[in-house]
Amino acid sequence: MPRDPRYDVLFEPVQIGPVTAPNRFYQVPHCNGMGYRDVAGMTVMRGIKAEGGWGVVCTEQCEIHHSSDITPFIELRLWDERDVPALERVAQAVHKHGALAGLELAYNGMNAPNLSSREVPMGPSHLPVASFTYDPVQARAMDKQDIADLRRWHRTAALRAKRAGFDIVYVYAAHALSGLQHFLSRRHNDRGDEYGGSLENRVRIVRELTEDAKEAVGDSCAVALRFSVDELLGPEGLHREEAHDMIGLLAEIPDLWDITLSDWSNDSQTSRFGGEGAQEPFVAGIKGLTSKPVVGVGRFTSPDAMVAQIKRGVLDLIGAARPSIADPFLPRKVEEGRIEDIRECIGCNICVSGDMTMSPNRCTQNPTKGEEWRRGWHPERIATKASDAKVLVVGAGPAGLECARALGARGYEVALAEAGMELGGRVAKECRLPGLSAWGRVRDHRVQQMQNMTNVETYLDSRLTAEQILEFGFEHVAIATGASWRRDGVARFILRPISIAEGAEVLTPDDLMAGKAPSGKRVVLYDDDHYYMGGVLAELLVAQGRKVTLVTPAPDVSNWTHNTLEQGRIQTRLLELGIAIEPHRAVTAVRAGGIETACVFTGRKTELACDSLVLVTARLPNESLIQELTAKRDAWKDAGILSVKAIGDALAPATIAVAVYAGHRYARELDGPETGDDPPFKRELTEVLPL
């Protein structure tokens, strides 16, 4: 289908200094947990985005010097000449598909604890390093020689970037991850020289680095300035008015303004806290301060929203990190008039958790993310079927839906049987909880894709038994029956069922999602799961008029969401809702009318009165079906069954992303070669040098 003329504006070229972006789809720099360690994986991933139509594809931040070493995080490095060939390959992979390649040069300064290089970190002032962890290391205040050195390092890095073939070279002054932002910030910069104090002085270093880069590479490379316009800290922090004054001082110096919020948790808000286009109030008006193009983000997945940003004069280029991860082919789909095929980001930040845990980043919606090179998984292409085998998929949660969709795309005859009256499994239930409506996109995309597949049949209201499956005659059976929340307290801290008195009301997330409400007013929610469910259900209970106490063995609520950049927002929201939070405590006994909790350090016990207890603990796989089928293995041959396999939560409960991946992997590997004991993926090994 030709593209809808309404979207023509998105395909206009945009001049950025000496280079021209072929369209307005701009993949802004984003971390991916691969960086210098998994260069091949990162390179192929970036190349695929260019293939998918992004007109500009940027790298993650790239440390320009070994005194900007953010170990343990894995980003790119340009510490010396030997790093150039790896970057060259990235630029080539992007150019192959006609896109511009951008490199985000970073000097992290006091954000870099230098755990690997062991250099003394440097910043505008003597202050503890501002890393994600409380590293017991301080940065020293840079003197004039240090600043001169930094200018030289940055210039050298820009020249290397140009030599590596990049079209856009960044000066990075954003997210409170960049040392340059610390110079801009009144909170961090207490200098009395010409690099501190007045606005002019605080922007001086950014001005100098931008001018140096222009002078060094500006003949053929555009120089972009990535800049945070608000830290959301009120007048104490960098804020709109001050940022606008700073932009006014630098307005025409860079070739492109890349506008962000700071810190990263404000810039990459989850869908629970910010919707599509949530940054518009912060970006609006910047185009009035400069004649240079402006790029900004907003988790844009709708081409209509993108067009509106351009038409209203908010942005020139539609920046995207997460939407380009969830769907590397988003621009191509708009171009080809296939809007309904766009795999929309759900705003869960599982991708961010990859970077935060130093592992190749994963995506809930795009199971091929991070697997492009090492497994050869392309987000849009999948091998056609290798046999005429028919496949039965039991359970239509994220694992079953993705399994059926991907098998269908391969051309297999597939039957998808779901016990309930709706598709989606856990996402169908969870998307009705406060703040999680975007989770429904996991189901919607797959259901939409299967609609046009004549080889996939879906059956609702079909709770299958082992006997029925043996009668059906499918060659392969994928069991995706999901998991159930435990009601005995077992999870991470308590490993044996706790004593629950008769008459005590104990509810699980499954009960609450099925519409069951606690009978009394006072509810204790015990969270030993530590992801989003505990916090979300606490919100639900408050909305139902309950007085909620959240007890957790962790130091704070929803502790794992530090990795999705949400923990601060979740805890703030719960406190503002009046929820009492009791950290470092585990539930040790449940009585009628109350519970006993123990301090996780001293074991000291306390009684807490309540009418109901909600246990957000571990889950157990719904494995009765696979167990029954396994017990009848002798009957498989006569039934024509070649394989029966549990996938997703039915095998071991985990995230939605893991379930989608499990379904996808099953489909990819069906009829494939037996995997031996070696890893079923390629690895890039460190070069072994002579000792």
CB of 613 to ligand SF4, least distance (A): 31
Dist CA 657 CA 346 (whole Å): 11
Mask 362-401, x = binds ligand SF4 (CB under 6 A)?
A: -xxx------------------------------------
Among 395, 408, 535, 594, binds ligand ADP (CB under 6 A): 395
Segment interacting with ligand ADP, rule: CB under 6 A, options 68-76, 232-240, 445-453, 647-655 = 647-655
Phi, psi of 597 (to 5 degrees): -120, 155
Among 19, 142, 317, 417, binds ligand ADP (CB under 6 A): 417
- Residue 398 touching ligand ADP (CB under 6 A): yes
**Cβ contact 561:567 at 8 Å:** yes
244-283 residues near ligand ADP, rule: CB under 6 A = none
Number of Cβ atoms within 10 Å of the Cβ of 630:
14
Number of residues forming the site for ligand ADP (CB under 6 A): 26
Q: Which of 351, 346, 320 is nearest to 334 (CA)?
A: 320
DSSP state of 383: P
- Residue 641 touching ligand ADP (CB under 6 A): no
Which of ligand ADP, ligand SF4, none has residue 346 at its interface (CB below 5 to 8 Å by kind)?
ligand SF4
Among 147, 478, 500, 659, binds ligand ADP (CB under 6 A): 659
* Half-sphere exposure at residue 436, Cβ-oriented, CA atoms within 13 angstroms: 23
Segment interacting with ligand ADP, rule: CB under 6 A, options 20-28, 257-265, 474-482, 589-597 = 474-482
Among 419, 450, 498, 614, binds ligand ADP (CB under 6 A): 419
User: Does the CA dihedral 485-488-490-493 come out positive or negative?
Assistant: positive
30, 154, 175, 664: which is the annotated catalytic residue? 175
- Residue 563 touching ligand SF4 (CB under 6 A): no
Active site residue 172: yes
- Residue 322 touching ligand SF4 (CB under 6 A): yes
- Residue 60 touching ligand ADP (CB under 6 A): no
566-625 residues near ligand ADP, rule: CB under 6 A = 622, 625
- Residue 430 touching ligand ADP (CB under 6 A): no
* CA–centroid distance for 30 within its chain: 10
- Residue 320 touching ligand SF4 (CB under 6 A): no
Phi, psi of 383 (to 5 degrees): -60, 145
Residue type, 246: M
Segment interacting with ligand SF4, rule: CB under 6 A, options 102-110, 132-140, 346-354, 462-470 = 346-354
- Residue 649 touching ligand ADP (CB under 6 A): yes
DSSP state of 86: H
Here the tokens at position 436 are 């999680």
Q: What are the distances in angstroms from CA 194 to CA 54, 186, 198? A: 41, 14, 8
Which of ligand ADP, ligand SF4, none has residue 393 at its interface (CB below 5 to 8 Å by kind)?
none
- Residue 350 touching ligand SF4 (CB under 6 A): yes
38, 258, 267, 527: which is the annotated catalytic residue? 267
CB of 32 to ligand SF4, least distance (A): 11
Residue type, 602: T
Segment interacting with ligand SF4, rule: CB under 6 A, options 24-32, 198-206, 320-328, 628-636 = 320-328
> Angle of helix 532-543 relative to helix 567-576, nearest 10 degrees?
20
CB of 439 to ligand SF4, least distance (A): 10
- Residue 328 touching ligand SF4 (CB under 6 A): no
Here the tokens at position 48 are 């695929």
Dist CA 51 CA 94 (whole Å): 8
Which of ligand ADP, ligand SF4, none has residue 648 at its interface (CB below 5 to 8 Å by kind)?
ligand ADP
Q: Which of 520, 484, 480 is nearest to 610 (CA)?
A: 520
Which of ligand SF4, ligand ADP, none has residue 345 at its interface (CB below 5 to 8 Å by kind)?
ligand SF4
Which of ligand ADP, ligand SF4, none has residue 480 at its interface (CB below 5 to 8 Å by kind)?
ligand ADP
Dist CA 407 CA 387 (whole Å): 12
Dist CA 499 CA 312 (whole Å): 61
CB of 478 to ligand ADP, least distance (A): 10
Among 418, 444, 528, 566, binds ligand ADP (CB under 6 A): 418
- Residue 658 touching ligand SF4 (CB under 6 A): no
Which of ligand ADP, ligand SF4, none has residue 420 at its interface (CB below 5 to 8 Å by kind)?
ligand ADP
If you count DSSP H runs as helices and E runs as strands, how many of each does the chain have, helices first? 22, 30
Dist CA 634 CA 293 (whole Å): 68
Mask 489-518, x = binds ligand SF4 (CB under 6 A)?
A: ------------------------------
Segment interacting with ligand SF4, rule: CB under 6 A, options 280-288, 318-326, 467-475, 512-520 = 318-326
- Residue 665 touching ligand ADP (CB under 6 A): no
- Residue 363 touching ligand ADP (CB under 6 A): no
Tell me if residue 550 falls in helix, strand or coil: strand
26, 107, 172, 526: which is the annotated catalytic residue? 172
Q: Which of 337, 247, 330 is nearest to 288 (CA)?
A: 247
Q: Are strands 56-63 and 25-27 parallel, antiparallel or unpaired?
A: parallel
Among 19, 180, 394, 524, binds ligand ADP (CB under 6 A): 394
Number of residues forming the site for ligand SF4 (CB under 6 A): 13
* Beta carbon nearer to ligand ADP, 61 or 481: 481
- Residue 463 touching ligand ADP (CB under 6 A): yes
56 forms bridges with which residues in the sheet? 26, 100
Active site residue 31: yes
CA angle 166/262/348 to nearest 5° reads 85
Among 254, 370, 400, 594, binds ligand ADP (CB under 6 A): 400
Dist CA 347 CA 364 (whole Å): 9
- Residue 367 touching ligand ADP (CB under 6 A): no
Q: Which of 196, 262, 270 is nearest to 226 (CA)?
A: 262
CB of 347 to ligand SF4, least distance (A): 5
* Beta carbon nearer to ligand ADP, 264 or 666: 666
> Angle of helix 39-51 relative to helix 84-95, nearest 10 degrees?
20
User: Does the CA dihedral 232-33-680-678 come out positive or negative?
Assistant: negative
Dist CA 471 CA 473 (whole Å): 6
CB of 45 to ligand SF4, least distance (A): 12
Burial class (CB in 10 A: 0-12, 13-18, 19+), 464: buried
Instruction: Walk across the sheet containing 594-599 and list its strands.
Output: 499-500, 585-591, 594-599, 605-609
Instruction: Walk across the sheet containing 122-123 and list its strands.
Output: 122-123, 138-141, 127-128
Applying CB under 6 A, which residues contact ligand SF4?
322, 325-326, 345-351, 363-365
Applying CB under 6 A, which residues contact ligand ADP?
394-400, 417-420, 425-426, 462-464, 480-483, 622, 625, 648-650, 659
Active site members: 31, 172, 175, 267
